[in-house]
Amino acid sequence: MHPSPSTCQQCAQRFNSVFCKAREEHVEVINDKKVCNIYKKGQLLFHEGAHPFGVFCINDGKVKLSHQGDDGKEQIIRLLKAGDVLGYRALLSGDRYSASAVALEDTQVCFIPKDVFINVLQHDAGMAFEMMKVLSDELHRSEIKLTHLAQKPIRERLAETLLFIKETYGFEADGITLAVKLSREEIANLVGTATESTIRLLSEFKKDGMIELDGKKIQILKPKQLLATANLQD
Amino acid sequence: MHPSPSTCQQCAQRFNSVFCKAREEHVEVINDKKVCNIYKKGQLLFHEGAHPFGVFCINDGKVKLSHQGDDGKEQIIRLLKAGDVLGYRALLSGDRYSASAVALEDTQVCFIPKDVFINVLQHDAGMAFEMMKVLSDELHRSEIKLTHLAQKPIRERLAETLLFIKETYGFEADGITLAVKLSREEIANLVGTATESTIRLLSEFKKDGMIELDGKKIQILKPKQLLATANLQD
DNA sequence: ATTGAAAAATGACAAAGGTCATGTTTCAAA
DNA sequence: TTTGAAACATGACCTTTGTCATTTTTCAAT
């Protein structure tokens, strides 16, 4: 993990986040009030149903955001990385959290209190606009996923999910190994299917030579073939 | 359909929309630049893939917003009514439209040009905040639907969809007939299933006495039983 | 290195839901 | 009023996917 920055002004993620357009004075206020923290792998940032007291800004690491289905089954709705902010949805809607956030690896996070975040949003048009962009993009992603979930077979959705993981977290130094370790169950909860189906299809993908499996390490051998399998028209 | 208002200031939907917190001066600007129009049932407001030139504000009527799946199958992602704004997602993301909007009945719509809408958003913190709320609420709804799509059987999703239609459009004067006419195919495209499955399940619901069917007219006879069938924990 | 629990893998089977074929009804245009 | 296309309805069937049971592997704690 990278060293913690002393200030938001120097933060590596500053221009890579929703704060990229925030005015200097506002960044200073945020810097004064933020609280940084490290969450160990598997640790909970917040839990579905809890009241939000602010937003979290990932400085380094990886986080999953997931709903609890009515029967208790997890549905992963977002994967977050450095520069991403989370917890804003509930804050803006005035709701409680509708999802839980869990660190996928040791993760360094800054917490920005609710009133500070809201206040800056209301006085900084540039940042407010960036926030709307983030929300719009998330909404877009969610609606596309909804359509695919309704209309595409699991094989295509799994291929798409592997490519999505690649887009989000990229590769290890070797250029082919996905830079995140997810259990088969987590991948299934991302795809929206049963764990066994995911395992079976991953084996098939391996047999077809598209991927290589070594425990939780997944290598993408033939990205083009995987893309064809995902059958995306977007 | 209600008579067209002469101005945004007098519009019945003003305080029932994202403009509710907009400052008077901004409402005036919008009023000066808006263009009102009537779309006949079935008419297209905008098409997936087109470039957005502004946002649409529904004064009276009903509109469906839908994606085209990769195989050409429609997925209805939102149902809109008076007071709702549409077309903002693409505008804010700087994308082309990712969905098409079609009038479900004769609908009166005001068009607000892109630059006017963006300009007001950037100078009116109150309205910007309302816009973020709208986006957050939509995102929430979309993510819940995603989870249900991934985890719930069609029977439950259909019951939920009927209740959702009720929430959105309410009843006719009789208090039990859904105030919108949708084809079985449209209901299926809202639920995310095949038309035949929807038809079969609607027949079952009727046999169970939960609903009454008369062509496109759907009456909700036992809302509680329907709610139980939807099996919602939210 | 051992070991025990969790995760992964695999097979058998069942259930859900989609597809196709076909018949019936509706409804608007002639 | 007739009529023809589109929507609705229903049955038969089959594919996909989920569930359950069992075995194998992995991996971290001792």
Q: Chain B partners of A52 at a C-beta cutoff of 8 Å?
A: none
Confidence category of residue A224, pLDDT binned at 50, 70, 90:
very high
Task: Identify the closest residue of chain B to A143 by CA–CA distance.
Answer: B142
- Rounded CA-CA distance B140/B148 in Å is 12
The predicted pLDDT at position B39 comes to 95
A41 touches strand C (CB under 7 A): no
Mean residue pLDDT of chain A comes to 95
**Which of B98, B132, B231 is opposite residue A140, by nearest beta carbon?**
B98
Confidence category of residue B234, pLDDT binned at 50, 70, 90:
low
- Beta-carbon contacts of B69 under 8 Å, excluding residues fewer than 6 positions away, are A147, A148, A150, A151, A152, B75
**Distance of B166 CA from C25 C1′ (whole Å):** 26
Beta bridge partner(s), residue A112: A55
Terminal CA-CA length for chain B: 35
How would you class A177 by CB atoms within 10 Å of its CB: exposed for 0-12, middle for 13-18, buried for 19 or more?
middle
CB B145 within 8 A of CB B157: no
Q: Is the pLDDT of residue B4 over 60?
A: no
Q: Mean of the pLDDT values across residues A171-196? A: 97
Task: Identify the closest residue of chain B to A148 by CA–CA distance.
Answer: B69
Terminal CA-CA length for chain A: 35
Residue A153: count of CB within 10 angstroms of its CB: 11
**Which residue approaches C18 most closely, CA to C1'?**
B194
Q: Mean of the pLDDT values across residues A182-190? A: 98
Q: Chain A partners of B132 at a C-beta cutoff of 8 Å?
A: 92, 121, 128, 131-132, 135
Is A139–B135 a contact, with Cβ atoms under 8 angstroms apart?
yes
SS3 B40: coil
What's the longest Cα–Cα distance across chain B? 56
DSSP secondary-structure letter at A202? H
The predicted pLDDT at position B72 comes to 85
Is B233–A70 a contact, with Cβ atoms under 8 angstroms apart?
yes
The predicted pLDDT at position A5 comes to 56
% of chain A with per-residue pLDDT over 70:
97
Phi and psi for A220 in degrees, rounded to 5?
Answer: -95, 105
**Which of B75, B98, B133 is opposite residue A93, by nearest beta carbon?**
B133
Chain centroid offset of residue B1 CA: 18
CB B152 within 8 A of CB B192: no
**Distance of A12 CA from C11 C1′ (whole Å):** 51
The predicted pLDDT at position A234 comes to 65
Distances (CA, A) of B101 to B63, B75, B179: 7, 12, 19
Tokens for B172, please give them.
């006719």
Going by C-alpha positions, the residue among B229, B208, B101, B222 that lies closest to residue B161 is B229
Rg (C-alpha) for chain B, rounded Å, is 19
Residues in chain B, total: 234
Is this complex's ipTM strictly greater than 0.90? yes
The predicted pLDDT at position B103 comes to 97
Q: Where are the beta strands (DSSP E) in B62-147?
A: 62-68, 74-81, 85-86, 100-103, 107-113
Tokens for A140, please give them.
């877009």
Report if pTM > 0.90: yes
Nucleotide nearest to A215 (CA to C1'): D26
Does B10 touch chain A if contact means CB atoms closer than 8 Å? no
- Rounded CA-CA distance A72/A82 in Å is 29
Tokens for A198, please give them.
């995911």
Q: Is the pLDDT of residue B2 over 80?
A: no
Q: Is the dihedral of CA B185, B191, B193, B197 positive or negative?
A: negative
% of chain B with per-residue pLDDT over 70:
97
Confidence category of residue B71, pLDDT binned at 50, 70, 90:
confident
- Rounded CA-CA distance B188/B195 in Å is 5
Q: Is the pLDDT of residue A3 over 60?
A: no
Q: Is the pLDDT of residue A162 over 90?
A: yes
Nucleotide nearest to B206 (CA to C1'): D9
Angle, helix B184-191 to helix B195-207, in steps of 10 degrees = 100
- Beta-carbon contacts of B18 under 8 Å, excluding residues fewer than 6 positions away, are B85, B127, B130, B131, B134
Confidence category of residue B200, pLDDT binned at 50, 70, 90:
very high
pLDDT, one tens digit per residue, over B129-167 is 999 999 999 999 999 999 999 999 999 999 999 999 999
pLDDT, one tens digit per residue, over B9-47 is 999 999 999 999 999 999 999 999 999 999 999 999 999
**Which of B146, B193, B233 is opposite residue A145, by nearest beta carbon?**
B146
Helix H or strand E segment including A69 = none
Minimal C-alpha gap between B37 and chain A (Å): 26
The predicted pLDDT at position B70 comes to 82
Tokens for B3, please give them.
């008579």
Q: Mean of the pLDDT values across residues A6-33? A: 93
- Phi-psi sector, A215: left (phi>0), alpha (psi -120 to 50), beta: left
> How crowded is the C-beta side of B192, counted as CA atoms within 13 Å?
28
Q: Is the pLDDT of residue A4 over 70?
A: no
Considering only residues B69 and B57, tell me which one the structure prediction assigns the higher pLDDT.
Answer: B57
Residue of B115, B135, B195 to mutate, testing the A interface (most A Cβ within 10 Å of its Cβ): B135
Q: Mean of the pLDDT values across residues A150-163? A: 98
Is B135–A137 a contact, with Cβ atoms under 8 angstroms apart?
no
Taking 3-state DSSP, the helix, strand and coil percentages for chain B, each rounded to the nearest 5, stand at 45, 25, 30
Confidence category of residue A156, pLDDT binned at 50, 70, 90:
very high
Chain centroid offset of residue B116 CA: 23
Tokens for B70, please give them.
């990769």
Beta bridge partner(s), residue B142: none
- Rounded CA-CA distance A38/A31 in Å is 17
